[in-house]
Chains A and B, each alone.
Chain A
Amino acid sequence: MHERTYDVAVIGGGAAGMAAAVEVRRQGLSCAIVERENQLGGILMQCIHNGFGVQEFKKELSGPEFAEEFMDMVADAGTDVFLSTTVDSIEESEQGKELYCYSRKNGVVKLNAQAVILAMGCRERNRGNIRTPGTRPAGVFTAGLAQRLVNVEGYIPGKNVVIVGSGDIGLIMARRMTWVGAKVHGVVEIQPYPAGLTRNIVQCLNDFEIPLYLSHVVSRIEGKNRVEKVTVSPLVNGIPDEDQSFEIPCDTLLLSVGLVPENELSENAGVEISPITSGAVVDSTMMTSVPGIFSCGNVLHVHDLADYAAEEARRTGAYAVAWLQNKKPARQLRIKAGANVRYVSPGMINPELPDKLYLRTLIVKNNAQLVMKLNNNIVKERKLSHVQPSEMVSVKLTKKDVEDWHAESDSVLEVSVQ
């Protein structure tokens, strides 16, 4: 059996995995990336649209360009990369962790590492997750699968398209399908507000006059062999209203109904998973409930932008190095998601070394106020010009922010939006 030993092993070679590995190498520790596909880059390689890299590289790039910038850094940093290699399990050993992997080329490969960084990304929710009634014809795709078919493999999955869900991939695919000559008849969103970024609503729907049906659902899919039509129903008091329903003839239905962190491997390793984010529960150093296993990027919680995932992963790489050097936080305070906040990630803060927090709101509001309370005393406030659940809010806390917090070890930091 092939066996190699590293200080840190990173699972997943997308934006997060590459950024984490580069940071570990920059600090002089040995590091390997294990990637299931035959190239690095992850889902970035099929995201041919622009909008990547504004934060990381101060220029606007497409997904593959963003990925190649990181691939160059991974190569320059001297990171070992295991491609076409799947991690089957993470086991505890006396020396640290053992990763049991397999690949067509090398068979079973065992990687020994002192610390492991989980960066496996997420999966798309599919028809089964949203339980749409009707027949089961061909022509129902997740938006990301359709994206891969069009952009990588060169197939156009259909000519008359309806999109369920206004997530970013669905919106991007509305434009992409229009630009390859298909007709997109509408985007159907169950919520009263769009799930995707505003700029995607503007340039992927409004530019092509594609209708966005908010507070509507696809209540039925019909077709014998191929999708022939769907029934669209408005929600009245949360229930599809049959009287106001209408049919849209189409041959293709794309589902953009959310992403779920892919954590089977983490769970099998004993990592505690949050029921709210479906990602690992992590402390202020992005370490999971299993000492030595860290998590970052979309496998931790779903990010809006690859730039944010990379930024978070770089910090996670640094935290993994610090942990290996025995630099552990003296104390950590629990963070509580308060009013109108769905979650805050990470869920703990080190008052000696405050860092960036990401949060998602439950509300849509202009001129909102972010309020942080420690033991019910307001310790920080910030104006937020506009919040909505689909747009992640980031808050950078500095030492100055926390210098007169007088936190006890059982203090709780409550973060709310008003």
Chain B
Amino acid sequence: MSAPETKEMICISCPISCRMTVYEENDSIVVKGNKCARGKVYGEEEYLAPKRMVTCTVATDSEEFPRLPVRTTASIPKETIDELLQELYSLNIKLPVKRGTTLIENYHDTGVDVIATMTLPGRA
């Protein structure tokens, strides 16, 4: 049996950037150095299956506002990011659009949506 791997990581749940040590012990994951509960969740996830928020822009039908900023409503598995980006780059959103509008629902059954993060007007 190989020795359980210890990972040094920096929590990115918030700007405090706690420096954490994460390792396996007796079939459970131990997170040390975190200052809050979000740090423990991040440490466990980053150890087993890292996830990231995705923010980008999509095309619109407007000349005045050619790009609409969007984001995922939660983090998604790192390895699915490229595919999501390709899907987002193929969209063309008809304005107007309100902040919070869902553009992609329940992406690949992850329970994560992609929403608009800016209110953009239609043609005046």
Contacts and interface: CB of A to CB of B under 8 A. Distances in A.
Partners in one complex: yes
Interface of A: 45, 48-51, 54, 60-62, 64-65, 68, 150-154, 176, 179-180, 197-199, 201-203, 207, 304-305, 366, 385-386, 391
3 A-B pairs with least C-beta separation: A199-B12, A48-B69, A198-B17
Interface residues of B, number: 27
Interface in B66-124: 66-67, 69-71, 78, 81, 85, 99, 117-119
13 contacts: A45-B118, A48-B57, A48-B70, A48-B117, A61-B117, A65-B117, A68-B99, A68-B118, A154-B67, A179-B85, A198-B10, A199-B17, A386-B19
Contacts of B57: 48, 150-151, 154
B10 A64 contact: no
Contacts of A54: 14-15
A49 B12 CA distance: 14
Interface of B: 9-12, 14-15, 17-19, 52-53, 55-57, 59, 66-67, 69-71, 78, 81, 85, 99, 117-119
Contacts of B11: 199
A305 B16 CA distance: 11
B15 A197 contact: yes
Given A151-B67, A304-B15, A305-B15, A179 B117 contact: no
B67 to A, nearest CB: 5
The binding surface of chain B is classed by DSSP as mixed
A153 B53 contact: no
Nearest to A65: B117
Contact of B117 (A62, A153, A154, A176): A62
B66 A153 contact: yes
A385 B66 CA distance: 44
A39 to B, nearest CB: 10
B15 A154 contact: no
Nearest to B98: A68
B71 A179 contact: no
A62 B117 CA distance: 7
Contacts of B53: 50, 60
B21 to A, nearest CB: 13
Contacts of B12: 198-199, 202-203
B99 A65 contact: yes
- Chain B CB count within 10 A is highest, among A152, A304, A305, for A152
Contacts of B67: 151-154
B65 to A, nearest CB: 8
Contact of A199 (B10, B66, B117): B10
A61 B81 CA distance: 19
A177 to B, nearest CB: 12
Given A64-B99, A385-B18, 20 more contacts: A50-B55, A50-B71, A54-B15, A62-B71, A62-B117, A64-B69, A150-B57, A151-B57, A152-B67, A179-B81, A179-B85, A198-B12, A199-B11, A199-B12, A202-B9, A203-B12, A207-B52, A304-B15, A366-B19, A386-B19
Contact of A62 (B9, B69, B119): B69
B55 A154 contact: no
Contacts of B85: 179
A179 B52 CA distance: 13
A152 to B, nearest CB: 6
Contacts of A197: 15, 17
Nearest to A51: B15
Nearest to A150: B57
A61 B53 CA distance: 11
A176 B69 CA distance: 12
Nearest to A68: B99
Contacts of B55: 48-50, 62
A60 B14 CA distance: 9
